Chain A
Amino acid sequence: MNARRPALLALEDGTVFEGVACGVDGEAAGEIVFNTSMAGYQEVFTDPSYAGQIVTMTMPHIGNYGVNAADMESRGVFAAGFVMRRCSETASNWRAEMTLREFFERFSVVAAEGIDTRRLTKHVREAGAMRSVLSTVDLDPASLVEKARSSPGLIGRDLVAEVAVRERFTWGAEVPPDCELPVDTGVVPVRPKHRVVAFDSGIKWNILRRLTEAGCEVIVVPPTTSAEEALALEPDGVFFANGPGDPAAVTYLYGTLREILGRVPVFGICLGHQMLSLALGCSTYKLKYGHRGGNQPVKNLLTGRVEITSQNHGFCVDFGSIGRLLPEESGGLVLDPNDLGAWVRAGVAPVVASERFGRVQLTHVNLNDMTVEGVRALDQRAFSVQYHPEAAPGPHDAQYLFGSFVRLMEGETDVFAMPGGVGKEA
Chain B
Amino acid sequence: MPRRDDIHKILLIGSGPIVIGQACEFDYSGAQACKVLREDGYEVVLVNSNPATIMTDPEFADRTYVEPITPAFVEQVIARERPDALLPTLGGQTGLNCAVALAEAGVLDRYGVELIGAKVEVIKKGEDRRLFAEAMARIGLETPRSGYAYSLADAEEIVASIGFPVVVRPSFTLGGAGGGIAYNVDELRDIVTHGLALSPIGEVLIEESILGWKEFEMEVMRDRNDNCVIVCSIENFDAMGVHTGDSITVAPAQTLTDREYQQMRDASIAIMREIGVETGGSNVQFAINPADGRMVVIEMNPRVSRSSALASKATGFPIAKFAAKLAVGYTLDEIPNDITKKTPACFEPSIDYTVVKVPRFAFEKFPGTDTTLTTRMKSVGEVMAIGRTFPEALGKAFRSLENGRMGLGADGKDAFDEERFDRYLVAPNEKRPLYMAEALRRGRSVEEVAALTHVDPWFVEQMAEAVRYEALLRGRALDEVSAEALREAKRYGLSDAQIAHLTGSTEAVVRARRETLDVKPTFKAVDTCAAEFAAETPYYYKTYEDEDESAPSSRRKIVILGAGPNRIGQGIEFDYCCVHAAYALSEMGFETIMVNCNPETVSTDYDTSDKLYFEPLTFEDVMDICERERPEGVLVTFGGQTPLKLAHALEDAGVPILGTKPEAIDLAEDRKRFAAVLDELGIAYPPAGTATTLDEALEVAHRIGYPLLVRPSYVLGGRGMVIAYSDEYLRRYIEEATAVSPDHPVLLDRFLEGAIEVDVDAVCDGESVYIGGVMEHIEEAGIHSGDSACCIPPFSLGTETVERIKAHARALALRLGVVGLMNVQFAVKDEQVYVLEVNPRASRTVPFVSKATGVPLAKVAARVMAGQRLAEMGLPPEDRELGRFCVKEAVMPFGRFPGTDSVLGPEMKSTGEVMGVAEDFPSAYAKSQLAIDYSLPDGGTAFISVCDRDKRAIVPVARHLHQLGFRILSTSGTARALKAAGVPVEVVLKVHEGRPNVVDAIKNGEISLVINTPFGRETRSDGYHIRTAAVQHGVTNITTLQAAQAVVQAIEAMKAGRLSVIALQDMYGDGALR
Given contacts A118-B545, A305-B227, A306-B332, contact A125 B531 (CB under 8 A): yes
Which of B253-261, B419-427, B993-1001 participates in binding chain A? B253-261
- CB of A116 within 8 A of CB of B354, answer no
- CB of A118 within 8 A of CB of B533, answer no
Give the residues in chain B near A71, CB-CB below 8 Å: 257-259
Residue of A nearest to B393 (CB): A60
- CB of B346 within 8 A of CB of A306, answer yes
- CB of B333 within 8 A of CB of A367, answer yes
Provide the bound-state CA to CA distance between A86 and B290, in Å: 23
| Contact partner, B255, options A65, A85, A118, A299, Cβ 8 Å | A65
- Check: B151 CB closer than 8 A to any chain A CB: no
* Chain B 339-363 interface mask (CB, 8 Å, partner A; 1/0): 0001110111111111000000000
Given contacts A61-B390, A121-B530, A367-B343, contact A308 B257 (CB under 8 A): no
Give the residues in chain A near B532, CB-CB below 8 Å: 34, 36, 58, 121, 125, 293
Give the residues in chain A near B265, CB-CB below 8 Å: 395-396
Residue of B nearest to A38 (CB): B252
Q: How far is the CB of A214 from chain B (nearest CB, A)?
A: 17
* Chain A 59-96 interface mask (CB, 8 Å, partner B; 1/0): 11100110010110000000000000110111011110
* Chain A 315-354 interface mask (CB, 8 Å, partner B; 1/0): 0000000000000000000000000000000000000000
Residue of A nearest to B350 (CB): A36
Interface residues in B997-1022 by Cβ distance below 8 A to A read none
Give the residues in chain A near B881, CB-CB below 8 Å: none
Given contacts A297-B346, A306-B333, A396-B262, contact A117 B225 (CB under 8 A): no
- Check: A394 CB closer than 8 A to any chain B CB: yes
Indicate the size class of the contact surface on chain A.
35 or more
Residue of B nearest to A307 (CB): B227
Give the residues in chain B near A121, CB-CB below 8 Å: 352, 530-532
Q: How far is the CB of B256 from chain A (nearest CB, A)?
A: 6
Given contacts A306-B346, A395-B265, contact A93 B547 (CB under 8 A): no
- Check: A40 CB closer than 8 A to any chain B CB: yes
- Check: B728 CB closer than 8 A to any chain A CB: no
- Check: B273 CB closer than 8 A to any chain A CB: yes
Provide the bound-state CA to CA distance between A92 and B446, in Å: 12
- Check: A393 CB closer than 8 A to any chain B CB: yes
- Check: B546 CB closer than 8 A to any chain A CB: yes
Provide the bound-state CA to CA distance between A40 and B257, in Å: 6
Q: How far is the CB of B549 from chain A (nearest CB, A)?
A: 8
- CB of B344 within 8 A of CB of A293, answer no
Q: How far is the CB of A90 from chain B (nearest CB, A)?
A: 5
Interface residues in A198-248 by Cβ distance below 8 A to B read none
Residue of B nearest to A369 (CB): B343
Give the residues in chain A near B388, CB-CB below 8 Å: 60, 85-86, 118
Provide the bound-state CA to CA distance between A86 and B532, in Å: 19
- CB of B348 within 8 A of CB of A395, answer yes
- Check: A255 CB closer than 8 A to any chain B CB: no
Interface residues in A383-410 by Cβ distance below 8 A to B read 391-396
Residue of B nearest to A119 (CB): B547
Give the residues in chain B near A34, CB-CB below 8 Å: 530-532
- Check: B292 CB closer than 8 A to any chain A CB: yes
Chain B facing A: main interface SS: loop
Residue of B nearest to A92 (CB): B458
- CB of A116 within 8 A of CB of B547, answer yes
Provide the bound-state CA to CA distance between A64 and B259, in Å: 14
Interface residues in B402-459 by Cβ distance below 8 A to A read 446, 456-458
* Chain B 233-271 interface mask (CB, 8 Å, partner A; 1/0): 100000000000000000011111111011001100000
Given contacts A116-B546, A297-B344, contact A90 B458 (CB under 8 A): yes
* Chain B 899-940 interface mask (CB, 8 Å, partner A; 1/0): 000000000000000000000000000000000000000000
Residue of B nearest to A392 (CB): B258
Give the residues in chain B near A297, CB-CB below 8 Å: 333, 343-344, 346-347
- Check: B501 CB closer than 8 A to any chain A CB: no
Given contacts A58-B530, A295-B349, A367-B346, contact A306 B253 (CB under 8 A): no
Give the residues in chain B near A125, CB-CB below 8 Å: 531-534
Provide the bound-state CA to CA distance between A394 and B261, in Å: 9
- Check: A304 CB closer than 8 A to any chain B CB: yes
* Chain A 280-309 interface mask (CB, 8 Å, partner B; 1/0): 000000000000011111010000111010
| Contact partner, A395, options B226, B262, B291, B468, Cβ 8 Å | B262
Q: How far is the CB of A403 from chain B (nearest CB, A)?
A: 15
Given contacts A89-B461, A367-B346, A394-B258, contact A422 B226 (CB under 8 A): yes
Give the residues in chain B near A68, CB-CB below 8 Å: 257
| Contact partner, B468, options A1, A40, A119, Cβ 8 Å | A1
- CB of B350 within 8 A of CB of A118, answer no
Provide the bound-state CA to CA distance between A117 and B351, in Å: 12
- CB of B258 within 8 A of CB of A393, answer yes
- Check: A98 CB closer than 8 A to any chain B CB: no
Give the residues in chain A near B259, CB-CB below 8 Å: 70-71
Provide the bound-state CA to CA distance between A149 and B200, in Å: 73
Provide the bound-state CA to CA distance between A95 and B265, in Å: 19
Provide the bound-state CA to CA distance between A305 and B223, in Å: 10
- Check: B367 CB closer than 8 A to any chain A CB: no
Residue of B nearest to A86 (CB): B389
- CB of B348 within 8 A of CB of A294, answer yes
Best-surrounded residue of A59, A396, A422 (most CB of chain B within 10 A): A59
Residue of A nearest to B484 (CB): A4
- CB of B457 within 8 A of CB of A118, answer no
- CB of A119 within 8 A of CB of B545, answer yes
Q: How far is the CB of A88 from chain B (nearest CB, A)?
A: 7
Provide the bound-state CA to CA distance between A308 and B227, in Å: 9
- Check: A141 CB closer than 8 A to any chain B CB: no
- Check: B524 CB closer than 8 A to any chain A CB: yes
Q: How far is the CB of A75 from chain B (nearest CB, A)?
A: 19
- CB of B255 within 8 A of CB of A64, answer yes
- CB of B225 within 8 A of CB of A305, answer yes
- CB of B389 within 8 A of CB of A61, answer yes
Residue of B nearest to A70 (CB): B259
| Contact partner, B258, options A40, A61, A88, A295, Cβ 8 Å | A40
Give the residues in chain A near B233, CB-CB below 8 Å: 38
Q: How far is the CB of A2 from chain B (nearest CB, A)?
A: 12
| Contact partner, A122, options B253, B291, B547, Cβ 8 Å | B547
Give the residues in chain A near B291, CB-CB below 8 Å: 94
Give the residues in chain B near A17, CB-CB below 8 Å: 546
- CB of A116 within 8 A of CB of B545, answer yes
Given contacts A116-B547, A293-B532, A295-B348, contact A88 B458 (CB under 8 A): yes
- Check: B790 CB closer than 8 A to any chain A CB: no
Provide the bound-state CA to CA distance between A71 and B354, in Å: 25
Provide the bound-state CA to CA distance between A121 and B468, in Å: 30
Best-surrounded residue of B226, B353, B532, B549 (most CB of chain A within 10 A): B532
Residue of B nearest to A40 (CB): B258
- Check: A176 CB closer than 8 A to any chain B CB: no
Given contacts A39-B258, A89-B461, contact A59 B348 (CB under 8 A): no
Interface residues in B545-562 by Cβ distance below 8 A to A read 545-547, 549
Interface residues in A36-70 by Cβ distance below 8 A to B read 36-40, 42-43, 58-61, 64-65, 68, 70
Give the residues in chain A near B347, CB-CB below 8 Å: 295-297, 308, 367-368
Give the residues in chain B near A420, CB-CB below 8 Å: 226, 273
- Check: A423 CB closer than 8 A to any chain B CB: yes
Q: How far is the CB of B712 from chain A (nearest CB, A)?
A: 43
Q: How far is the CB of B785 from chain A (nearest CB, A)?
A: 46
Q: How far is the CB of B1033 from chain A (nearest CB, A)?
A: 46
User: 3 tightest A-B contacts by CB?
Assistant: A40-B258, A393-B258, A119-B547
- Enumerate 11 A-B pairs (CB-CB under 8 Å) in ascending A order: A39-B252, A58-B352, A59-B252, A64-B254, A68-B257, A94-B293, A119-B547, A293-B350, A296-B347, A367-B346, A393-B258
Write the residues of chain A forming the contact surface with B, with a CB cutoff of 8 angstroms: 1, 17, 34, 36-40, 42-43, 58-61, 64-65, 68, 70-71, 85-86, 88-90, 92-95, 116-119, 121-122, 125, 293-297, 299, 304-306, 308, 367-368, 391-396, 420, 422-423
5 additional A-B residue pairs with CB within 8 Å, beyond A90-B461, A396-B262: A39-B253, A42-B257, A59-B252, A304-B225, A420-B273
